[in-house]
Amino acid sequence: MIPADIKNTEIRDEFWSRKQALVRKEVIPYQWEILNDRIPEAEASYCMHNFKAAGLLNEKMRKKGDAFEAPRFTYRGFAVFPEKREDAKEDEFYGFVFQDSDFYKWIEAVGYALMTGPDPVLEETADRAIDIVCAAQLPNGYLDTYYIINGMDKSFSDLRDHHELYCLGHLIEGAISYYQATGKEKLLKTAERYADYVASLFGTEEGKINGYPGHEIAEMALFALYDLTGEERYKNLAEYFINERGKEPNYFEKEHPDMKGKPDYYHQAHIPVREQTEAVGHAVRAVYLYSGMADMARLTGDAALLNACEKLFDSIVNTKMYITGGIGATHLGESFSLPYDLPNDTAYSETCAAIGLVFFAERMLRIKADSKYADVMELALFNTVLSGMALDGKSFFYVNPLDVIPENCKKDERKTHVKPVRQKWFGCACCPPNIARLITSLGRYIYTEDENTLYTHLYVGSDTTKAVNGKLVSVSMESGFPNNGNVKIAVNGAKGSGFRLALRIPGWTNGKYRLDVTGASEKEEKDGYIYLGEFSESAAIDISFDMIPRLMAADSRVAEDNLKVAVTRGPIVYCMEGVDNGDKLRQIRIDKNVSFTEEMSGEFGYDVVTLKADAKRIIPSVSAPRPFGELYGEFSSFEEKEISLRLIPYYLWANRGENEMSVYINI
Ligand SMILES: [Zn+2]
């Protein structure tokens, strides 16, 4: 099964078109300014600076030939920043070792944006930027500005930490997107040359580097490059990376002897990938790896690998995922924590990790249409991914907590990773361009297809076509998501083609839906999808799902959430904010028989369903005797106040200034 061609799917959706337009009009131009360090109040990126510096060095090398003395490697740290922006020297590297990847994610988003419609000015900017980036590539194909500038003699000497293969992965993904959008090959050829160079150096043969990426992504990127070019060598390199990971003797131990005997969970290199059953380590790396493993399982039919992917997916959703679709519970190593350890106020839940979970779920859907994957994809997308970006597209969350008291985040060192408002930019700016590329490529996540069947995973207003047995079938969808669950689909041109349409039944409906079909017949219900077939020349399908507010409780093993509930409605998770409810949100309690009133609010710039309910504020008080001073006294009763509680979608929190927020409510 493959994803429906993104160029073939035009999104025109009340909710998502707005987000896509925001990325196109605000986020992409803003990020271009950031990549060029032209936003004074944001942390400098130095991304384009580094490509220019590497290009200068390259030019010197070309002019002086053999007489040129290339820099000998000097370790300048994992992150290098000048004292002041104006102190930056034109031939030095700045930023994090993986800073190149910010451009690659940006150009990937630009490619997707250009697929949705022409923009000559943006394309011209991108072409000029690509010239700068390609000028930094060494004649042998190598392209990573950190080593080009700081000394190539140590390149690929620290695969675990220094991200050269990570940057390769993002370069490939960006290059593919830009090529598919414009037909221009320059960046794609640059990516292929870098991949070819890497392929010539890595392998199990004598004299080759027998390593693999410390930060995974090259695996899934190389499979995508194979899908595009049909060149087996890219598939082989990706398979090599996946097969070698975690084998004994451990490659990262060779690079870092101090790690000897310590299982490397952080990089998912503790055991070979086919033996991995629990999601561990750095959450973004993990889900990027699992996505590559799923690609390989799909392409090769490797049953052991597929089994590992299924177990790892289950490990995440059964024991390690927040109700918001966020993953990676601890800031220590930006990692998965123990099963059921899902703290709300110190949550890490990185935006990129939720994006990676979307990637992983979508790749599992390519293997098998099972709604459990699409449910998780939808959950992560509508909640943690969207939470990562402000309504104006100009500030971003890296960390997505579920419980915030702003003062604590600022003063408590254990919580300094939690920001109570979105930030303009981050020195380590993985998340903002990652959101941009995901939202602009949404067309890829709505459908997958095989020979005869179009599988609908997300209900997003859109038009698409599918070729079946020589006929071109057009499918047009109108969707009320996420405000209501009403979906209308028109199918034309399918008569006699054998075309089938599969419709996902979201998990939050408990299997209930209303379906009205004319011009096709209902065939069966399987793995959370309704299958329709025997289409007339034109068919109309009305399907609707009730979106009613629900109280959701966590499994009792999630100690943090005992005696608490979260409120969801359809795919949206709700939260309470101080601006609506006053501070000290932890005093609020709702009744298990609570009834919610839905109110359409325009205060966020478009129609948003907010919820109102009667609730109580329980004000703790203690009475004498207070044997140890003021803090503790004997309990008699707590004061109770009737209040009107207001809930808004979680992804919208912190758009009205700094204030308290909580997803979970006492019950
Ligand atoms: Zn990130």
Name all domains of the chain by residue range, CATH numbers in brackets. Answer: 450-544 (2.60.420.10), 549-666 (no CATH)
DSSP-derived letter for residue 81 is -
- Provide mean pLDDT across the span 351-379: 98
Report CA(429)–ligand 1 centroid distance (Å).
7
pLDDT for residue 261 is more than 90: no
352 belongs to the catalytic site: no
Report CA(383)–ligand 1 centroid distance (Å).
15
β-pair partners for 601: 608
Report CA(477)–ligand 1 centroid distance (Å).
32
- pLDDT bin (cut points 50, 70, 90) of residue 636 is confident
Report CA(69)–ligand 1 centroid distance (Å).
37
- Provide mean pLDDT across the span 359-365: 98
Report CA(287)–ligand 1 centroid distance (Å).
12
Contact 169, 217 (CB under 8 A): yes
Name which residue leads in pLDDT, 620 or 3. Answer: 620
167 belongs to the catalytic site: no
Query: What CA–CA distance (Å, rounded) separates 339 from 336?
Result: 8
Catalytic residue among 47, 167, 430, 575: 430
Query: What CA–CA distance (Å, rounded) separates 575 from 344?
Result: 12
Query: What CA–CA distance (Å, rounded) separates 296 from 309?
Result: 10
pLDDT for residue 3 is more than 90: no
pLDDT in tens, 186-211: 999 999 999 999 999 999 999 999 99
**pLDDT the model gives residue 622:** 82
pLDDT in tens, 301-311: 999 999 999 99
440: part of which helix (H) or strand (E)?
A: helix 431-440
pLDDT in tens, 323-343: 999 999 999 999 999 999 999
**Tokens of residue 35, six digits:** 């990549």
Edge-to-edge strands, sheet with 486-492: 10-11, 462-468, 471-479, 486-492, 538-544, 514-518
End-to-end C-alpha distance for the chain, whole angstroms = 44
- Provide mean pLDDT across the span 151-174: 96
Query: What CA–CA distance (Å, rounded) separates 343 from 353?
Result: 16
pLDDT for residue 497 is more than 90: yes
- Provide mean pLDDT across the span 39-46: 86
Catalytic residue among 239, 334, 560, 577: 334
**Tokens of residue 358, six digits:** 């979307």
pLDDT for residue 426 is more than 70: no
Report CA(159)–ligand 1 centroid distance (Å).
20
Contact 534, 637 (CB under 8 A): no
Query: What CA–CA distance (Å, rounded) separates 195 from 188?
Result: 10
**Tokens of residue 48, six digits:** 């384009």
pLDDT for residue 118 is more than 90: yes
